[in-house]
Amino acid sequence: MKPILQIENLQTHFFTKAGVVKAVDGVSFDINAGEVVGLVGESGSGKSITGFSVMGLVDAPGKIVGGRIMFQGEDIAAMSPQQLQSLRGNRISMIFQDPMMTLNPVLRVETQMVEAIKAHDSMISKSEARARARDALGLVGISAPEERMRAYPHQFSGGMRQRVSIAIAMLNRPDLIIADEPTTALDVTIQGQVIHEMQRLCEATKTALLCITHDLAVVAGIADRICVMYAGRVVEQGPIASTISQPLHPYTRGLMGSVPSQNRRGQPLQQIDGMVPSLLNLPSGCAFQNRCAMVSDKCLSEIPEPIDVGEQRLVRCVNVGQEPAS
Amino acid sequence: MKPILTVSNLSKDFTKPLDLIAKLLNKVGQDNKEEVVHAVDDVSFAVQRGEIVGIVGESGCGKSTLGRMVAGILSPTSGSVEFDAEQTKASDLPQALQTQMIFQDPFSSLNPRKRVIDIITEAPIFHGLIARKQKNEFAAEMLQRVGLDPDTLQRYPHQFSGGQRQRIGIARALAVSPELLVCDESIAALDVSIQAQIINLFVRLRDEFTLTYLFISHDIGVIEHISDRVIVMYLGRIVETAPISSFLQTPNHPYTKALLAGVPRLEVGKREYEPVSGEIPSPLDPPTGCHFHPRCPFASERCQREAPLLRELSAGHFSACHLNDEAQP
């Protein structure tokens, strides 16, 4: 199967007064049609900027300085603003963390949805667009969509608003949806509902989903493949089951150990000591060196390249293949 | 053994006063009523010394209001919070010092214009626990306790990362040697790897100083890891309370079951989510009877009518659900 999105060696840097922040520095991964890929990392790892780069939403002082983002054979990184405009919300759409910030508070939900349809299809009549908007709301599980679409965003609860943004994202039947922390602001039972809707819709419409989150457990529940980012680079990627059961990169291992789980009650969590280094001033060599238990001279001098360890898994660590020191 | 904390029939109402227009309209014969939120509704529980009690629930369930009342920040509308301090320390110190709170947001809970040393030593100096000239050593010792470098004493909060700031907040709480710490979503704002560091710190401090925790969180994974006993709240009421083992193995209340089923878990892997339906009702206008009945798959006519009482199922395991009556007549 040919991937619909291929990110090759993407570099997005921010040119600030304090220096160049290499927010994304050499990220490569593919997404196949209909596949759910989880992009996981802590704050400052560059996961959101990767998503923004794909959408062409990186603003000054940020800039894509290298690499290619091939979407169905076209390079997004080289597109003009007009081309991007016709792509966004049409073939690729995005769901953000806080729907209160992304929905226009002074427009009815209906107006916003019809607007999104008409932006990409100027021929469609208003009543047709309205019908499509209503059906989309019904699809994401909003009861009485006919009445609810006359409401303003503040009249919906948090979970309902997120459903509305999913409905808007699905309006033009995109091939790829980028969801940036879609459930982080929601309560547990509502999070379950929203994940359920996303899972169901993506499966039914064969839409690919890039799910960006800090929550490993959420990704474990919905993704087919996982990419773990650290300090602007993907340190490990692979199919979800084998990556979670047998993480190879020391950072991935530490991250898994950090998740509280009932299986390890009473024992201390296997924490990763130290902090994420400042992106302004990354150490030469592996960015994880100051927190890694297996650090060697080689880690200090060279940036590890992705190593193919089979089963479609790539790991950026010079120690890979050796047994963990513990 | 006498419990360190006894909360009995505690309630907190928040009232939204009528605005001018509503008052005027009332004069001409309309009947506008003040809106009342029963944030915490007749809650009773006890905490033993050295225990970590987890309070879990979704937004609007009253868990933070409960924590604030225990810590003495809010005064209850009715009911009481009784605190049984160790006699040795308690003699001449105000009760407020024995309960300290650790907040969610390490950015807004520290005074940005104070140095770390002053943040930590302000309270103990004020209450005469330490002399002013001991300030330096004392603050350095506190920082070491929470795993920070004592050389950073003269810095301001903005010079620290989120995880380090949370450690400063903990050091500030420990500075007055409290016996009970109320942690209100204390790790929710932190990254996963930093979360693990802070959780480990909490557990280590408990063992070192025999602290008691009231650990408030929406994150069931964290609650499961750290707590000895769990209290589940829904719209101001306790729906279930159980020791951790029976909470995990035999959850009784349909809401608890729904919560546990909704938690994404690392070990389960890819799966189909089967979420509980419905929204969290507005606390302004909670459903009659059992608050959970509009979302409950087992709801009967009685659940709409009558609020269930907490009932002991096994040692220490209480649940408020009418279904338990039918099971054992």
Q: What is the pLDDT of residues B2-12, one digit of tens each?
A: 888 899 999 99
- Which residue of A187, A264, A270 is in closest CB contact with B218? A187
Residue A208 has which token pair?
Answer: 């690919």
Instruction: Give the integer Cα–Cα distance in Å for B296 and A255.
Output: 36
Average pLDDT on B323-327 reads 77
Residue with structure tokens 């933070």?
A: B64
Cβ contacts of B204 on chain A, cutoff 8 Å: 268
Task: Decide if B182 contacts B115 (C-beta within 8 A).
Answer: no
Distances (CA, A) of B70 to B15, B78, B97, B237: 20, 13, 12, 16
* Structure-derived torsion over alpha carbons of residues A237, A242, A246, A252, reported in degrees to the nearest 10: 30
Instruction: Give the integer Cα–Cα distance in Å for B299 and A224.
Output: 37
pLDDT value for A211: 94
With b for 16 or more beta-carbon neighbours within 10 A and e for fewer, the B198-208 pattern comes to: bbbbbbebbee
Residue with structure tokens 């201390």?
A: A268
Task: Single out the residue of B152, B195, B276 nearest to residue A194, CA to CA.
Answer: B276
The predicted complex's ipTM stands at: 0.78
pLDDT value for B214: 93
Task: Decide if B318 contacts B233 (C-beta within 8 A).
Answer: no
Task: Single out the residue of B66, B264, B272, B67 nearest to residue A189, CA to CA.
Answer: B264
pLDDT value for A43: 84
* Confidence check: pLDDT of B88 > 50: no
- Whole-number average pLDDT of chain B: 86
Residue type, B247: F
Task: Single out the residue of B282, B221, B262 nearest to residue B56, CA to CA.
Answer: B221
The better pLDDT of the pair B116, B327 is held by B116
- Which residue of A188, A240, A272 is in closest CB contact with B259? A188
pLDDT value for B95: 67
The separation between the first and the last C-alpha atoms of chain B, rounded to the nearest angstrom, is 33
Percentage of residues in chain A with pLDDT exceeding 70? 97
Q: Is B270 on the interface with A (CB under 8 A)?
A: yes
Interface test with A, best of B191, B255, B277 (most A CBs within 10 A): B191
The helix (run of H) or strand (run of E) holding residue B216 is: strand B212-217
Query: By three-state DSSP, how is residue B45 classified?
Result: strand
Q: Is A264 on the interface with B (CB under 8 A)?
A: yes
Q: Is A142 on the interface with B (CB under 8 A)?
A: no
Average pLDDT on B104-113 reads 87
The better pLDDT of the pair B140, B273 is held by B140
Average pLDDT on B289-315 reads 89
Residue with structure tokens 């508070």?
A: A105
Min Cα distance B53 → chain A (Å) is 14
Min Cα distance B221 → chain A (Å) is 5
CB contact under 8 A, A256 and B199: no
- Which residue of B192, B248, B280 is in closest CB contact with A262? B248
CB contact under 8 A, B275 and A193: yes
Quick one: closest CA in B to A243, which residue?
B269
Instruction: Give the integer Cα–Cα distance in Å for A107 and A124.
Output: 21
Instruction: Give the integer Cα–Cα distance in Å for A25 and B125.
Output: 49
What residues contact B204, with CB distance under 8 A and at least 6 apart?
A268
Instruction: Give the integer Cα–Cα distance in Å for A65 and B105.
Output: 35
pTM of the entire predicted model = 0.84
Cβ contacts of A218 on chain B, cutoff 8 Å: 264
* Structure-derived torsion over alpha carbons of residues A72, A74, A79, A81, reported in degrees to the nearest 10: -30
Burial class of residue A53, CB neighbours in 10 A (0-12, 13-18, 19+) = buried
| Contact residues, B window 151-210, toward A, CB-based 8 Å cutoff | 161, 163-164, 191-197, 199-200, 203-204
Residue A187 has which token pair?
Answer: 């309560």
* Confidence check: pLDDT of B89 > 60: no
Q: What is the pLDDT of residues B16-72, one digit of tens each?
A: 888 888 888 888 888 878 888 888 989 999 999 889 999 998 888 888 899 999 988
Task: Single out the residue of B299, B102, B61, B267 nearest to residue A188, CA to CA.
Answer: B61
pLDDT value for B327: 60
**Would you place residue B92 in the very low, low, confident or very high pLDDT band (cuts 50, 70, 90)?**
low
SS (H, E, C) chain A: CCEEEEEEEEEEEEEECCEEEEEEEEEEEEEECCCEEEEECCCCCCHHHHHHHHHCCCCCCEEEEEEEEEECCEEHHHCCHHHHHHHECCCEEEECCCHHHHCCCCCCHHHHHHHHHHHHCCCCCHHHHHHHHHHHHHHCCCCCHHHHCCCCHHHCCHHHHHHHHHHHHHCCCCCEEEEECCCCCCCHHHHHHHHHHHHHHHHHHCCEEEEEECCHHHHHHHCCEEEEEECCEEEEEEEHHHHHHCCCCHHHHHHHHHCCCHHHCCCCCCCCCCCCCCHHHCCCCCCCHHHCCCCCHHHHHCCCCCEECCCCCEECCCCCCCCCCC
Q: How many Cα atoms are found within 13 Å in the side-chain-facing hemisphere of B40?
A: 27
Q: What is the pLDDT of residues B119-166, one digit of tens each?
A: 999 999 988 888 889 899 999 999 998 888 888 889 999 888 888 899
What residues contact A13, with CB distance under 8 A and at least 6 apart?
A20, A21, A22, A23, A24, A25, A62, A63, A65
Q: How many CB atoms lie within 10 A of CB A274?
A: 14
Q: What is the pLDDT of residues A114-150, one digit of tens each?
A: 999 998 888 899 999 999 999 999 888 888 888 888 9
Query: By three-state DSSP, how is residue B238 classified?
Result: strand
> Tens-of-pLDDT digits for all 326 residues of chain A?
678 999 999 999 999 888 888 899 989 999 999 899 999 988 888 899 999 999 988 888 888 998 999 998 889 988 898 999 888 888 999 998 877 788 999 999 999 999 999 988 888 999 999 999 999 998 888 888 888 889 999 888 888 888 899 999 988 889 999 999 888 878 888 888 888 888 888 888 899 999 999 888 888 888 999 999 999 999 999 999 899 888 999 999 888 888 887 667 778 888 888 878 888 888 888 888 888 888 888 888 888 888 888 888 999 988 876 554 44
Instruction: Give the integer Cα–Cα distance in Å for A47 and B179.
Output: 41
Interface test with B, best of A188, A272, A290 (most B CBs within 10 A): A188
Interface test with B, best of A269, A270, A273, A288 (most B CBs within 10 A): A269
Average pLDDT on B191-200 reads 87
**Measured over all CA atoms, what is the biggest interatomic distance in chain B, rounded to whole angstroms?**
68
Burial class of residue A240, CB neighbours in 10 A (0-12, 13-18, 19+) = buried
Instruction: Give the integer Cα–Cα distance in Å for B139 and A124.
Output: 69
Task: Decide if B229 contacts B51 (C-beta within 8 A).
Answer: yes
